[in-house]
């Protein structure tokens, strides 16, 4: 039941009608029931595993809170290790088994015969990180433990962010769940506008680009020379439109319900260096890794070399978090090295002397660095890396460039330019101050959608993570 499906809109409309006219107590019940129903559409087995994770983390947090220092540390470590193992078994066991099979094939001459079949619950990376951050915040005494089991279940089952985040901090979401929410007319209209635009860029930009990318990159050894210079930016805009679209839908739905979620993207393609880019892209994940991994490892407190080692380890984890495969590991190291090289240049003072031209070149370089890295997501074996490098050694023919792609991505580019011009902290259509603009934009987007949107629905790109 995708956000951009008629089925979801019909079910949500019925739910919202009851939700809007209910009391605070019954709103929480409805939120929980709809969250369970929404998540169960992807399988009962995954839903049962999610509830197992919820009750385990609720119990561990209680034990951490009520015990003495030595015991609370023990329970905390049990909780963290258990969550990592939980994520590891369901998400990475098949990859580790595949590596062992490859090694056995290289040494003995045949792969391992047993092929395990393990359920991969959708959104497992997101809700596991959700729970790890809760345990850390409770252990560090930054938030009080949540003793209301109903509220804590709802913390993990809050359906707008249940599948793909953002990885909302417990200190922001739990207090909102524990207090009555005021649903103003402005919140409803702003939420609807964000949701509609999220569906629009998902269906009218991400899905057509996904079809182009899928047809172009069926096999790295049969590509036209140099075409990856064109395909890479297409993948970048596909992933951005897809994940940003989901984030807007999540923010919009939450706002119509009276909640405020964190902003997950802030015009990342305007970033002029890798460090700035990752402060604007997938903000909930990058800040999560910064606060709970990088700083816990020592951050920049132990010298420049140790700082860069910490960064490289964080980016290795980022690659692993995104998926179990050779390409994801290489991608993590690749982006970590790019960030470290930039920090070395910054450390030597090279980046101090910037003007408008250098900043423009920095934007182009940063965009292409990120775009080329996304090609690694499609690697099946390490040999594919060499095929990518070989293709990029050539310059593509102008006849290979699909100029229709510019037409497809134009609405998203114009929206980001508009938001950058107004320096907004969160995406907004300024409905309260300029309501006529919303209707103009809505009409334009509807016509655009009618022209370019495919009828078939594509899964959100980050469902695989």
Condensed to tens digits (0 to 9), the pLDDT of residues 229-239 reads 888 899 999 99
Average pLDDT over residues 385-393: 83
Confidence of residue 32 (pLDDT cuts 50, 70, 90): very high
What local confidence, expressed as pLDDT, does residue 384 receive?
76
User: Is residue 206 over pLDDT 70?
Assistant: yes
pLDDT tier at 27 (50, 70, 90 boundaries)?
very high
- What pLDDT is stored for residue 449 in this prediction? 62
Q: For residue 372, what are its two tokens?
A: 């080329």
Tokens of 361: 């070149």
Spatial CA neighbour of 197 closest among 412, 460, 455, 426:
412
Q: Output the CA–CA distances (angstroms, integers) from residue 132 to 152, 295, 396, in the order listed.
A: 13, 15, 46
- Separation of alpha carbons 237 and 247, rounded Å: 15
Question: Residue 283 has which token pair?
Answer: 């903000």
The pLDDT value recorded for residue 20 is 92
User: For residue 404, what are its two tokens?
Assistant: 């229709």
Residue 45 has pLDDT above 90, yes or no: no
The confidence band for 438, taking pLDDT boundaries of 50, 70 and 90, is low
Mean pLDDT of 257-262: 92
Report whether pLDDT(400) > 80. Answer: no
| pLDDT at residue 457 is higher than 60 | no
pLDDT greater than 60 at residue 396: yes
Per-residue confidence band for 408, with pLDDT thresholds at 50, 70 and 90: confident
Q: Which helix (H) or strand (E) holds 449?
A: helix 435-452
What confidence tens digit (pLDDT) does each residue in 84-139 have?
Answer: 999 888 877 766 666 666 666 666 666 666 666 667 778 888 899 999 999 999 99
How do the domains of the chain map onto residue ranges? 6-181, 275-353
Structure tokens at 92: 């990475």
Average pLDDT over residues 295-322: 84
Residue 425 pLDDT: 86
Asked if the model's pLDDT at residue 55 lies above 90, the reply is yes
pLDDT of residue 460 exceeding 60: no
What does pTM read for this prediction?
0.87
Read off the tokens for 243.
């994940």
Structure tokens at 431: 């409905």
Element counts in the chain: helices (H) and strands (E) = 18, 0
Evaluated on CA atoms 402, 405, 410, 416, the torsion sign reads negative
In this prediction, residue 456 has a pLDDT band, given cuts at 50, 70 and 90, of low
Residue 335 and residue 322: Cα distance in Å, rounded?
13
241-260: average pLDDT: 92
Average pLDDT over residues 343-354: 70
* Between residues 171 and 111, the one the model is more confident about: 171
- How high is the mean pLDDT of the chain? 83
Separation of alpha carbons 263 and 247, rounded Å? 8
Note the pLDDT of residue 125: 85
Within 348-434, where are the H helices?
356-374, 383-392, 404-422
Cα end-to-end distance, the chain, whole Å: 17
Return the H-helix or E-strand segment holding 447. helix 435-452
- 8 A C-beta contact, residue 392 and residue 372: yes
Residues annotated as catalytic (active site), given as ranges: 322
Work out the percent of the chain whose per-residue pLDDT is above 70.
83
Per-residue confidence band for 437, with pLDDT thresholds at 50, 70 and 90: low
Of residues 313 and 431, the one with the higher pLDDT is 313
Please state at what angle helix 170-178 crosses helix 124-139, rounded to 10 degrees: 90
């Amino acid at each position: 039941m995708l956000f951009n499906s008629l089925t979801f809109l019909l079910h949500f409309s019925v739910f919202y009608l009851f939700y809007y006219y209910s009391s605070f107590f019954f709103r929480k019940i409805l939120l929980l029931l709809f969250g369970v129903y929404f998540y169960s559409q992807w399988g009962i087995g995954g839903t049962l595993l999610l509830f197992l994770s919820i009750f385990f983390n609720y119990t561990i947090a209680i034990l951490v809170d009520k015990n003495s220092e030595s015991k609370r540390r023990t329970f905390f470590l049990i909780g963290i290790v258990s969550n990592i193992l939980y994520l590891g078994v369901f998400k990475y066991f098949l990859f580790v088994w595949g590596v062992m099979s490859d090694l056995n094939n290289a040494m003995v001459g045949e792969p391992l015969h047993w092929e395990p079949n393990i359920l991969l619950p959708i959104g497992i990376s997101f809700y596991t990180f959700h729970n790890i951050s809760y345990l850390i915040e409770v252990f560090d005494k930054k938030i009080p433990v949540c003793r209301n089991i109903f509220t804590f279940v709802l913390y993990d089952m809050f359906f707008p962010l249940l599948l793909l985040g953002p990885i909302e901090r417990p200190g922001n979401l739990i207090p909102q769940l524990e207090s009555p929410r005021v649903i103003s007319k402005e919140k409803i209209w702003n939420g609807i506008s964000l949701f509609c635009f999220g569906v629009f860029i998902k269906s009218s930009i991400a899905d057509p680009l996904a079809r182009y990318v899928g047809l172009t990159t069926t096999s790295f050894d049969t590509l036209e020379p140099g075409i990856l210079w064109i395909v890479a930016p297409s993948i970048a805009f596909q992933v951005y439109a897809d994940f940003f679209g989901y984030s807007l839908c999540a923010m919009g739905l939450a706002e119509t319900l009276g909640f405020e979620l964190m902003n997950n993207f802030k015009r990342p393609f305007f970033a002029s260096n890798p460090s700035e880019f990752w402060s604007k892209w997938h903000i909930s994940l990058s800040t999560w890794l910064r606060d709970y991994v990088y700083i816990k490892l020592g951050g920049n407190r132990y010298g420049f070399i140790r700082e860069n080692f910490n960064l490289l380890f964080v980016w290795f984890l980022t690659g692993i978090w995104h998926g179990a495969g050779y390409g994801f590991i290489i991608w993590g190291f690749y982006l970590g090295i790019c960030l470290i090289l930039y920090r070395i240049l910054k450390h030597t003072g090279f980046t101090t002397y910037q003007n408008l031209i250098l900043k423009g070149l920095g934007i182009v370089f940063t965009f292409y660095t990120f775009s080329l890295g996304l090609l690694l997501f499609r690697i099946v074996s390490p040999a594919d890396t060499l095929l990518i490098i070989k293709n990029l050694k050539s310059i593509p023919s102008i006849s290979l460039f699909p100029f229709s792609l510019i037409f497809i991505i134009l609405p998203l580019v114009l929206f980001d330019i508009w938001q950058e011009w107004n320096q907004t902290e969160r995406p907004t259509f300024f409905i309260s101050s300029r309501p006529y603009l919303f209707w103009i934009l809505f009409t334009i987007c509807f016509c655009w959608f009618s022209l370019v949107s495919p009828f078939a629905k594509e899964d959100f790109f980050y469902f695989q993570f």
